[in-house]
Structure 1
Amino acid sequence: MIVVMRRGATPQEVRQVEKRLRELGFATHPIVGVELTVIGAVGSRRDEVMEQVANLPGVERVVPVLRPYKLVAREVKEETTTIRVGDVVIGGPEVVVIAGPCAVESEVQLLTTAKAVKEAGAHLLRGGAFKPRTSPYSFQGLGLEGLKLLAQAREVTGLPVVTEVLDTRDVELVARYADVLQVGARNMQNFRLLQEVGQSGKPVLLKRGLAATVEEWLLAAEYIAATGNQQIILCERGIRTYENSLRNTLDISAVPLVKELSHLPIIVDPSHATGNQRMVLPLARAAVAAGADGLMIEVHPDPARALSDGPQSLTPAQFSRLMGELRRVALAVGRHSLPQVSLSCQAR
C-alpha cells in the first residue's frame, strides 16, 4: 500500500508513520516528490491496518497497490522519477543519449569514440569491460583494464560512464569506476545481482530480458527498488519473437505502456534491438516520438574491425547525422532539443 502524506507534513510526522508501519510488519520506502511525500509500505495488506495508518497525524490517505510491483508503480509517484548522473538528468524534458562502443577494445579505439560522441552531443559514454557473449570463444572484454580505460575516457571528455556488471562478485569493482551500473538482458532475472547493484547506491540501467513481459521487467526493477535504491533506468532493447529478419523485435509500444504503469524513466537501445546499423536511425526516431527519455546507441570508429557487434555500430559520422535527426524529432514532440553539434562535427 501507499501512504500519501499531507502537503506540509513535518519530517517528524513522516518518521512516526514509518515507525508505526514497521511495528505493523511493513517494510517502508519513503519517496519524496516535488509536492508530496509518499511512503511505500510492503507487507500483508489488511483493511484494519489501513484504517489505523490513515488516522495517523500527517496522513492524507492510504492507497492500496494492486499490481504485483509496488515501489516502481505509477500509483506511488505521479511525476516521472528523474535521475541525476553528474550534470545529466534522465527522465526530464531533455532526451538523453548514451553512446559508445559495444566493447572496450583499446585505448585508441575508446578515446577516439568518446571524443567523437562527445563532440556530436552525447550525454553519457557506454562501453563494455565485461562482455556476456553467446559463444564462450568470443571476445569477453578487457575486464579491469577496460574499466580503467573507461575512467580515463571520462577524465578526458567529462562524459559519465555506463558499463555492464555480470557477476555479484564484480559489483564493488565496477562501481568504483562506473557512474551507472548496467544489468544486461541476460541477467534481468538474476535476482541476487539485482539486489547487489541496488545496494551499491549507484544508478542502475536495467535492460529488458530476451523474452520478458513488461510485468516481469518491472518486477525485476522492484528487486532493485526494494533495496532502497530508486535510481533505476529501464531500457527496452528488443525481445525475441518468431520474426527472424532482424536480431530482435523492438517493442516501441513498451515506451508509452511503461510510462503508464511506472514512474521510472525509460530509454531505448535500437542498436541491440535490430543488430543492423541501417535500422538504428529510423527506430531511434520512433523511440523519441513515442516518448522515450533517452537512447543508447553503439558507435565504433571502424565497425568492420569491431570485436563485438560491428554490424549494428554506427561510425562517428553516422552518429553525428543521427543526432541532427533526433533534434528535429525531439522538438516536434515537445521535448527539449539535444545539444547543438559543432560545425566541424557536422562536416565529417
Structure 2
Amino acid sequence: MILILKGGATDDQIDHVIERVEAMGLQAHLSRGTFRTIIGIIGDETQIVVESIRAIPAVAKVVPVLPPYKLASREAHPDASVVDVSGVKIGGGNVALIAGPCSVEEEDRMHRIAESVVSAGANIFRGGAFKPRTSPYAFQGLGEEGLRRLRDVGQAYGVPVVTEVTDPRLVELVAEYADMLQVGARNMQNFALLNEVGASKRPVLLKRGMSATVTDLLMCAEYILSKGNPNVVLCERGIKGFDPATRNVYDVAAVPLVHQLSHLPIIVDPSHATGKPDLIPPCAMAGLAAGADGVHVEVHDCPEVAKSDGPQALLPEQYDELASQMKSLAELLGKTVSPLPEKTA
C-alpha cells in the first residue's frame, strides 16, 4: 500500500504517519519527491485499518497495491485452481461441458435430454428446480420435487448435477441433492446467500451479475472463499447493453482478464449471453478459444413447450454437433474435457 501525503506536509506530520504505520506492525519506506512525499507500506496489508490511515490530516490518498479480493487474486494463489465436482474437474486444463434444460420438467423429458447430452460429451447436467423470474406469474420451478428428479437423472446417467439456489434458507436442502450449487446473476450480490454457500463447502458456480464489473464478480467470489470454501467457478453470462439485438452483451474478454487477475476457473454461458440458438455455437467456441474452462449451454428436446427460456435452447442434435467441435478445439488448445467419473457398483 502507498500513502501519498499532502503537499507541504511538515516533518512532524510525516513522522506521525510513520509512527502510526509502525504501530500496526508494518514497515514504512519514506520517499521524498519534488512535489510529493510518498510512504510505502511493507508487510501484511490485512493488518491495515485504511479508515484510520485516511483520517490522518497529512494523508492525501491511500493507494492499495494488492487487489481488494485477497483470496481470489493471483498474488494469493499463483497457480490455477482446479475445482472437483464429484469427480469432474474444472480448471487447470480440464474443461467442463455443462448442459441441460433451463428448468427441471417432466421425468421422461429430463431423461431424454440427459441421455442425449451425456452421449454427446457433457460431463455436468444442469436444470433449475428454483427459478428466480422477472414476473411473479412465470413458472418458478418444481422446488424439492425438481431436485429429486434432477438427482435421479444424474444417478441414472452417472453425471454430476448443478442447480441454482435462490435463498440462504434453501442452501442446506439444495446441497442434499446437487453436486454443485449455482448462484445466478440476479443473486450475485446476495451476500447472505454467498456466505451460506461458502459455509456449505459444496462447489459453487457463481454467475456474473447483469450489471457487474469483473472486480464486482471477484469480490463476490471472495465472500465464498472467505468462508473456507475454495471450490468456486466463475461464469461469464453476458452483461446488460443498449443493443436489443442480443439478450446481453457477451463479454468474452472477461475470460482472459479473469485468468490474469485470479486463480479461479471461469466458464462461459453463451445461451444467456446471446439468447439466440444460431449465435450459441460460435460464441461457445469463442469462449473456449479465449481460455474458458468450460461452456454452459441450455438444451431442450422441444423448445416450443419448454417451461422457461425455450427460445435460447439448442436441440439435442445441435448440441451433439457443438460438443464435438468443442472437444476438438479443447484438444487443439492442449486441454482435456474432463471425463465422467466411473460408476460404482
- Name the TM tier (shorter chain): 0.7 to 0.9
Maintained 8 Å contact 2:100/2:297: yes
How far 1:168 moved relative to its partner?
0.7
Maintained 8 Å contact 1:80/1:264: yes
Maintained 8 Å contact 2:128/2:141: yes
Determine the structure 2 residue equivalent to 1:242.
242
Determine the structure 2 residue equivalent to 1:44.
47
In the alignment, the residues of structure 1 paired with residue 65 and residue 160 of structure 2 have an alpha-carbon distance, to the nearest angstrom, of 35
Residue 47 of structure 2 aligns to a residue whose secondary structure is coil
Structure 2 letter corresponding to 1:43: T
Maintained 8 Å contact 1:205/1:233: yes
Structure 2 letter corresponding to 1:104: V
In the alignment, the residues of structure 2 paired with residue 135 and residue 237 of structure 1 have an alpha-carbon distance, to the nearest angstrom, of 20
Residues 226/277 of structure 1: CA separation in 2 closer, same or farther (3 Å cut): same
**How large is the RMSD of aligned CA atoms in angstroms?**
1.9
1:23-102 residue pairs with structure 2 within 5 A? 43-45=46-48, 66-102=66-102
1:245-264 residue pairs with structure 2 within 5 A? 245-264=245-264
How far 1:43 moved relative to its partner?
3.0
How far 1:163 moved relative to its partner?
0.2
Determine the structure 1 residue equivalent to 2:112.
112
Maintained 8 Å contact 2:255/2:266: yes
Maintained 8 Å contact 2:104/2:141: yes
Maintained 8 Å contact 1:255/1:292: yes
Structure 1 letter corresponding to 2:215: E
Tell me, yes or no, if structure 1 residue 160 matches structure 2 residue 160. Answer: yes
Residues 42/315 of structure 1: CA separation in 2 closer, same or farther (3 Å cut): farther
Structure 2 letter corresponding to 1:86: S
1:1-348 residue pairs with structure 2 within 5 A? 43-45=46-48, 66-336=66-336
Residue 242 of structure 2 aligns to a residue whose secondary structure is coil
The CA deviation string for residues 46-86 of structure 1, in whole angstroms up to 9 with x for no partner, is 9xxxxxxxxxxxxxxxxx96211100001011111101112
Maintained 8 Å contact 1:258/1:266: yes
Structure 2 letter corresponding to 1:250: Y
Residue 235 of structure 2 aligns to a residue whose secondary structure is strand
Residue 234 of structure 1 aligns to a residue whose secondary structure is strand
Q: For structure 1, which runs of at least 5 residues remain unmatched after alignment? A: 2-23, 26-40, 47-63, 341-348
The CA deviation string for residues 97-132 of structure 1, in whole angstroms up to 9 with x for no partner, is 010000001101111111111111100000000001
In the alignment, the residues of structure 1 paired with residue 337 and residue 223 of structure 2 have an alpha-carbon distance, to the nearest angstrom, of 34
In the alignment, the residues of structure 2 paired with residue 263 and residue 94 of structure 1 have an alpha-carbon distance, to the nearest angstrom, of 14
Maintained 8 Å contact 1:121/1:338: no
How far 1:337 moved relative to its partner?
5.5
Residue 186 of structure 1 aligns to a residue whose secondary structure is helix
Residue 97 of structure 1 aligns to a residue whose secondary structure is strand
How far 1:244 moved relative to its partner?
1.3
TM-score (norm 1): 0.79
The CA deviation string for residues 324-343 of structure 1, in whole angstroms up to 9 with x for no partner, is 11122222322236779xxx
How far 1:94 moved relative to its partner?
2.8
Maintained 8 Å contact 1:255/1:290: yes
How many correspondences in the alignment? 286
In the alignment, the residues of structure 1 paired with residue 290 and residue 128 of structure 2 have an alpha-carbon distance, to the nearest angstrom, of 28
Structure 2 letter corresponding to 1:247: R
Structure 1 letter corresponding to 2:274: T
Structure 2 letter corresponding to 1:261: L
Residue 98 of structure 1 aligns to a residue whose secondary structure is strand
Residues 42/296 of structure 1: CA separation in 2 closer, same or farther (3 Å cut): farther
In the alignment, the residues of structure 1 paired with residue 331 and residue 114 of structure 2 have an alpha-carbon distance, to the nearest angstrom, of 26
TM-score (norm 2): 0.80
Determine the structure 2 residue equivalent to 1:16.
none
- Give 1 or 2 for the bigger CA radius of gyration: 2
Structure 2 letter corresponding to 1:113: I
How far 1:137 moved relative to its partner?
0.7
In the alignment, the residues of structure 2 paired with residue 233 and residue 104 of structure 1 have an alpha-carbon distance, to the nearest angstrom, of 22
How far 1:42 moved relative to its partner?
7.5
Maintained 8 Å contact 1:326/1:338: no
In the alignment, the residues of structure 1 paired with residue 138 and residue 83 of structure 2 have an alpha-carbon distance, to the nearest angstrom, of 34
In the alignment, the residues of structure 1 paired with residue 121 and residue 315 of structure 2 have an alpha-carbon distance, to the nearest angstrom, of 15
Structure 2 letter corresponding to 1:105: E
Residue 154 of structure 1 aligns to a residue whose secondary structure is helix
